[in-house]
Amino acid sequence: MEEREDNRRLPGEVVETYSRPDPREVVEVYTRPLPGILRQKAAPPAGKKKRKGLWIFMGCLAVAVALSVTAFAWRQLRNFGRDRFGQYSPYEVETEPGDITIQSWPTGQGVKLDVLRDHGEALTAQEVYRQVNPSVVRVMVQVGSKASLGTGVIFTEDGYILTNYHVVEGGSDCYIALDTGASYQASYVAGDPVNDLAVLKVDARGLPAAEFGDSEDLEVGDTVYAIGNPLGYELWGTMTDGIVSAVDRNVTVDGRTMTLIQTNAALNSGNSGGPLINEYGQVVGLNVIKMSSSYFSIEGLGFAIPSATMDRVVDDLLASGETQLQPVLGLSVLLEATQLSETESGLEVVEVTEGLAADRAGVRVGDYVLAADGYPLETSKDLLWVRRQKRIGDELTMTLWRDGEILEVTLSLRESVEETE
């Protein structure tokens, strides 16, 4: 197990739609062009005969055209998994990306996004809604002469809010509204277009902050919920449910690869930046993308940014306004810990990269890592969690088991994951 973490119409209406003139789309949607449509030629009127040579010519021409169109359609279908994601508007309102000129709020205030590694008892859907919905806000952004409407999540009681970068992109003014109807002008703290995350701040106290949980604990089949503002405003506070369809799904979005949670919980225009919630009432993802097609019927394919990614990126944005490179440890371990004695268990080291942090610290293949920075390790995900708390230039202590002896080593984290890829 590498310790690295990847920041990896057709005729006949069949769905009733709610249509109205409205601002631009704020949920990114997967779309692609309609391929060539094969149409059967109408039979000639009865009684009309053509000369045999003409029939042969027309038949050959029809076959050639059909083959050409079929080849085009086949090429389109083969490219299905490689088409780009982009913003899509059912109201055909287009806006160009631009700089964010929303009034700013300073970074470096010592604020962090707390992602908990434990949880309480499972809740009913009603309990989840009552617990989380007060923390879900409507985000309204002025973008030129139009507005961008999305969703956000309060993560501190003094008014820090998380949403998608594409919701605020190009914005000049921003307001948020609570489920109580109270509204505030929001300031822009920082954002990262690559990970599609942005932090907003309102000048308020005593706001209901959501609890964030660890997305690394999710498994396929787990129950999840989404709360957001589909279609923008009138349907605010809508909750949908589903399951985790896949974890660590790599999806290419505008030339960049994002590692996302896949879910079949219904997402619609305006859900961008809304929470994906586990059965314990914890936010484990931020809804960002849904898939659609102009000629396939696609349902139940939504994606969310995992809290494991938000944990690192948001803390960087809060501290300095930009994301920092991730350090590399330079070792690979097995997925599960091995019981070494009645009191000790650890992750077996199966590879050490020469010249990197673990090698310099004296870690060897065959060692067992009992703890990292004092945290006991039961799975490789525990080690990844510890690494996400570190930045280039930090040190990380490891407790090792080697041939029955317990050793302490210190890793100096000088290199980044990007530099070693």
For residue 22, pLDDT over 90 is answered with no
Which of 272, 307, 332, 380 is catalytic? The answer is 272
Q: State the fold for domain 331-420.
A: Pdz3 Domain (2.30.42)
Q: Give the DSSP letter string of 342-377.
A: SS-EEEEEEEE-TTSHHHHHT--TT-EEEEETTEE-
**Domain boundary assignment for the chain:** 115-320, 331-420
Mean pLDDT in the chain? 79
| Contact status, residue 388 vs residue 308, Cβ threshold 8 Å | yes
Which of 196, 315, 316, 367 is catalytic? The answer is 196
pLDDT score for 48: 46
Could you tell me the pTM of the whole model? 0.69
pLDDT score for 262: 95
Confidence class for position 419, pLDDT limits 50, 70, 90: low
For residue 239, pLDDT over 50 is answered with yes
For residue 226, pLDDT over 50 is answered with yes
Confidence class for position 389, pLDDT limits 50, 70, 90: confident
Q: Give the DSSP letter string of 200-247.
A: EEES-SS--PPPEE-GGG--TT-EEEEEE-TTTTTTTTEEEEEEEEEE
Confidence class for position 67, pLDDT limits 50, 70, 90: very low
Q: State the fold for domain 115-320.
A: Thrombin, subunit H (2.40.10)
Which of 135, 148, 166, 315 is catalytic? The answer is 166
Residue owning tokens 């000088």: 414
166 is catalytic: yes
For 22, the enclosing helix (H) or strand (E) is none
104 is catalytic: no
pLDDT score for 390: 85
pLDDT score for 381: 82
The sign of the dihedral angle between the CA atoms of 372, 377, 383, 389 is negative
Q: What angle separates helix 380-388 from helix 307-320, to the nearest 10 degrees?
A: 20
Mean pLDDT, to the nearest integer, of 63-86? 38
How many CA atoms lie less than 13 Å away from 113 in the CB half-sphere?
33
For residue 228, pLDDT over 90 is answered with yes
pLDDT in tens, 329-382: 999 999 899 999 989 999 999 999 999 999 999 999 999 999 999 989 998 888
